[in-house]
Amino acid sequence: MRTRCTQVTAAVLTATLLASGCGGDGGDGTELEVFSWWTGGGEEAGLEALIERFEEDNPDVDFVNAAVAGGSGTNAQAVLEGRLQSQDPPDSFQGHAGAELQDYIEAGYLQPLDDFFAEQGLQEAMPDQLAEQITYDGSVYSVPVNIHRSNVMWFDPGLLEEAGVDGAPGTLDELVEALEAVEAETDAIPMAVGAQWTVDHLLESVLLSSLGTDAYNELWEPGANWDTPEVTEALETFEQIMEHTQEESAAEDWQEASRRVSDGEAAFNIMGDWAAGYFDELGATPGEDYDWAPSPGTDGTYMWLSDSFTLPEGAPNEEQAMAWLELVSSAEGQDLFNPVKGSIPAREDTDPAEYEDSPYLSEALAEWQDEPELAGSFWHGVTVGNRWKNEVDTAVGLYLGDGELDTLQGSLHEAAQAE
């Protein structure tokens, strides 16, 4: 029996797999290899809660946690693509529900899960829009475990008071004014960002705020026009905000950027609500060490994403993979996972009491149940596939290097026309 793998970075994954046997010769019925990018903060803790329950229910199965750290999944996706092309799939892997999985489906890497959904009653247990989003050519290929909100602004109330800022900014203009005040009146970082993907993440919230929900959603239609004065204005505001970020951010991931807020080093951070689980893990006190509000100008809109798990074609241990999918899709499994990760359940029949201990999650769950306007997160796989997403990321990376806003807008427009 193989030993359990720890999380590894993309750079050392191949060597680690060879050394520990975690690549999987599989098929003996005693192992389950699950691939994800949950390696830090509440996301890792949530995964560990599911692993613990799976091992309790399946004591004869060796759980192999093949998580790959970094880049909001981009490192993991690169390693996963190589394994799938080599016909060496894990038994199940994490992905974002929506357009992100279409490349895998079209390449024949995923098995449809229609029979599983029918057996588990999942179509009835999940919101109609979520079920529609994960359906491709009439079939479903992934099991959503949660709903996340991307457009959340985390802030340090003490730093805002020190800077003379009266509460959370409600518009982009107010945010820029607050950033300027923090820079003038304190020694703190006005807006903390991390690795480049966190800048992409910030960009989508700025676009949503500046353009509005409908126009934002229309941006991600193939052939959409990004060469408009409205998009120019949004990008100019994005540039203003970026002028108040820290220079050394590229070496840090989202956890470091979020921690700067709760530690009093930064006034603001735009990050998904997985940060709530991370703050809880740090022992930070809501309302004192940190607080939150919708990203300025996006109140009433839920920019959403959903983590999900799949069944690859050729999964070495399909029986164990199905047991994993049954756990993560169940009300019990989602109530184990989501309060720790900092997300709300994909199912509509879970226990609200499980979320009452988190001021953030209880508020988020209530808002989601009120059926807010919805905008899909482009960075987190809802609205676009990997090619378009990577084109945006490349354009943002070049902008961070040369500061040419016109070039950024032109590249974003060309990426949309290529679809």
pTM score: 0.84
Sign of CA dihedral 213, 216, 220, 222: positive
Pick the range with the lowest mean pLDDT from 3-7, 37-41, 101-105, 258-262. 3-7
Q: What is the token pair recorded at 83?
A: 């394994």
**Strand residue runs (E) in 57-157:** 62-65, 68-69, 92-96, 135-136, 139-140, 143-144, 148-149, 152-155
pLDDT confidence tier of residue 72, bands split at 50, 70 and 90: low
pLDDT of residue 400: 95
CA dihedral 193, 341, 32, 119 (to 10 degrees): -120
Q: Return the half-sphere exposure (C-beta side, CA atoms, 13 A cut-off) of residue 283.
A: 0
Task: Answer yes or no: is pLDDT of 3 > 60.
Answer: no
pLDDT in tens, 108-163: 999 999 999 999 999 999 988 788 878 889 999 999 999 999 999 999 999 999 99
pLDDT in tens, 216-239: 999 999 999 999 999 999 999 999
Domains of the chain are: 8-147+307-375 (3.40.190.10), 152-297+385-417 (3.40.190.10)
Phi-psi region of 297 (alpha: psi -120 to 50; beta: other; left: phi over 0): left
Task: Answer yes or no: is pLDDT of 59 > 90.
Answer: yes
Residue recorded with tokens 């599983």 = 116
Task: Answer yes or no: is pLDDT of 18 > 70.
Answer: no
Q: What's the whole-number average pLDDT of the chain?
A: 90
Per the CB < 8 A criterion, the answer to whether 155 and 261 are in contact is: yes
Task: Answer yes or no: is pLDDT of 24 > 60.
Answer: no
